[in-house]
Structure 1
């Protein structure tokens, strides 16, 4: 079986779960062609990501003449389908958050991807994320008369579902993957019940790095780690406020923000204004191996998100036998059991977050150990990448011969 994967930016440090998924599919005997709109913007410090660079074909960067040639070739191959795809791109742009120019670009990208699929004799395209990758995949399906599917991960699809064309994409897709039951429910909101059966849940998975690596026991260090992009939906300002609340109570703990993003300078400024700058360390983008080191060096992982899908770093931290503190949003309660694997708190409530962090700081070695063991068991039971890849393989096999 041969399928093509389409990702907007690949490989990418924060999307290592896609790399793991592709590798697991290949272990199942599926040949996966990697297509990406552009290369990584975060440096891809993981060695495995660097290897993926040579396995991936990139739409952008080919130059104007080859790109125009792709468009002409797509027209010659299927002129009627070409015009229908043009019409779809124009229609999608009318109420979209992106401009008409962007949608013309998506159409051109679909011409390139469609030609690559035609040359490689591959008839199914799977995209990750329901935004522009799914748009390109849908237009490619129209151009080639092939089937397409996509994985919806969370806030990308739920924050602006109508403005990125989620209803039409779900209707046209041969199958849609959600990463949590919550995510599936949000996709069902936008389409008629006749389409619900083709929306299924396949969890992002953990591979042998987490399954087989020696587990470091509980860590009593007074240190929390938060992994993720420094962006509004992640709520890191709340973490700073919670840290300041703990300090007012005479409790100090280090906070490591493992990641980078547009709010870095604002977070640094808020840390200074709140009197906790000495407790906060921002790492910038780091490799997956370094992320695991930061998790193992911490007492617990803490996430203060306002909105999520189901964060992969939660399952990674739990697999490292660390309890987690997270907000009770989206798919998180499906994984984290309050009081067993960690603590769940209300989103947007810095005092409740501080109270959970205090409970974690006051937990003794036996409690930290018991919660860590429970967390690891939970993560490994629900998020095995080979089991998830088998589900995907079955989906792809069922779509053989399906047209868009």
Structure 2
């Protein structure tokens, strides 16, 4: 701004956690005139840096509205899926997901695993060790996921230790699919307990198993699931973005 000798606002719009990164000094963001945050986690991180509350606008990310995937009901049956990188005990924590699946008793189930990664074979071996691989299909990397999934799954399962704003979660909910997930920082932005899914404390495998069984026992309204992310749908998102920019312009 000084070099150009112009008068304009400088707004930050960061799309990842400000912590645990070495791309830039997050403390420099304090000098910006305003900030757009895609999650409540980033908002809190900005506040911790000393940014004023009224200089931060939480706008999330846009998501297209989709029709619900057709459902084929089967009594006493769970059709679960995961889509993402295969990291055994890193961020995605697939070992915990598989251990939780192993806690499902008295219910027929199938787990579709979409994705690849450095730990794919290790994950498969762990599934074999648990004796559950006969209930799992390992699809590997899938280019057009939502063309592959033609029957609505019972739930998306996520065992992540941390996340930014997981788009797979929004994509699933927009199609009427509930989620079962860890309580990673910022999960409250998306997951509403009993409305669009269930949560469990990371590391509590017994609780994960219980929440998966709960999905089969308690019917969640498909419309309520889709409506739960109303603020993310593009028509509402861009209204919020315009309002946020108008507020920042007045600062």
Same fold (TM over 0.5): yes
SS in 2 for 1:316: helix
CA contact (8 A) 1:205 1:384 kept: yes
SS in 2 for 1:222: strand
Pairing 1:150–2:4 present:
no
Aligned with 1:390 (options 239, 244, 251)? 239
CA contact (8 A) 1:184 1:199 kept: yes
Matches within 5 A, 1:183-262: 183-189=42-48, 191-193=49-51, 195-208=52-65, 210=66, 213=67, 215-217=69-71, 219-220=73-74, 221-231=77-87, 232-246=90-104, 249-262=105-118
Distance of aligned partners of 1:353 and 1:310 in 2 relative to their CA distance in 1, 3 Å threshold: same
Aligned with 1:270 (options 99, 114, 126)? 126
CA contact (8 A) 2:193 2:199 kept: yes
Aligned with 1:165 (options 22, 25, 31)? 25
1:355 is matched with: 210
2:176 is matched with: 321
Larger Rg: 1
- Give the total of aligned pairs: 244
What are the superposed Cα offsets for residues 67-123 of structure 1, whole Å, 9 maximum, x if unpaired? Answer: xxxxxxxxxxxxx96xxxxxxxxxxxxxxxxxxxxxxxxxxxxxxxxxxxx9xxxx9
Unpaired stretches in structure 1, ≥5 consecutive residues: 1-79, 82-117, 124-144
Distance of aligned partners of 1:392 and 1:151 in 2 relative to their CA distance in 1, 3 Å threshold: farther
Task: Output the CA distance in 2 between the equivalents of 1:277 and 1:174.
Answer: 53
2:188 is matched with: 333
Distance of aligned partners of 1:352 and 1:151 in 2 relative to their CA distance in 1, 3 Å threshold: same
Q: State the TM-score, normalized to the length of structure 1.
A: 0.53
Distance of aligned partners of 1:291 and 1:173 in 2 relative to their CA distance in 1, 3 Å threshold: farther
Task: Output the CA distance in 2 between the equivalents of 1:396 and 1:341.
Answer: 30
* Residue 398 of structure 1, CA deviation: 7.1
SS in 2 for 1:149: strand
Aligned with 1:305 (options 135, 141, 160)? 160
Matches within 5 A, 1:101-180: 147=10, 149-153=12-16, 156-158=17-19, 160=20, 164-168=24-28, 170-180=29-39
Task: Output the CA distance in 1 between the equivalents of 2:9 and 2:196.
Answer: 43
CA contact (8 A) 1:150 1:173 kept: no
Task: Output the CA distance in 1 between the equivalents of 2:147 and 2:189.
Answer: 23
SS in 2 for 1:272: helix
SS in 1 for 2:226: helix
Task: Output the CA distance in 2 between the equivalents of 1:284 and 1:397.
Answer: 45
CA root-mean-square deviation = 3.2
Q: State the TM-score, normalized to the length of structure 2.
A: 0.81
Task: Output the CA distance in 1 between the equivalents of 2:26 and 2:43.
Answer: 12
Is 179-188 or 340-349 further displaced after alignment?
179-188
* Residue 343 of structure 1, CA deviation: 1.3
Unpaired stretches in structure 2, ≥5 consecutive residues: none
* Residue 295 of structure 1, CA deviation: 7.5
- More contact order relative to length (CA 8 Å, sep ≥ 6): 2
CA contact (8 A) 1:296 1:320 kept: no
Q: Which has the higher helix share?
A: 1
CA contact (8 A) 2:57 2:244 kept: no
Task: Output the CA distance in 2 between the equivalents of 1:284 and 1:333.
Answer: 30
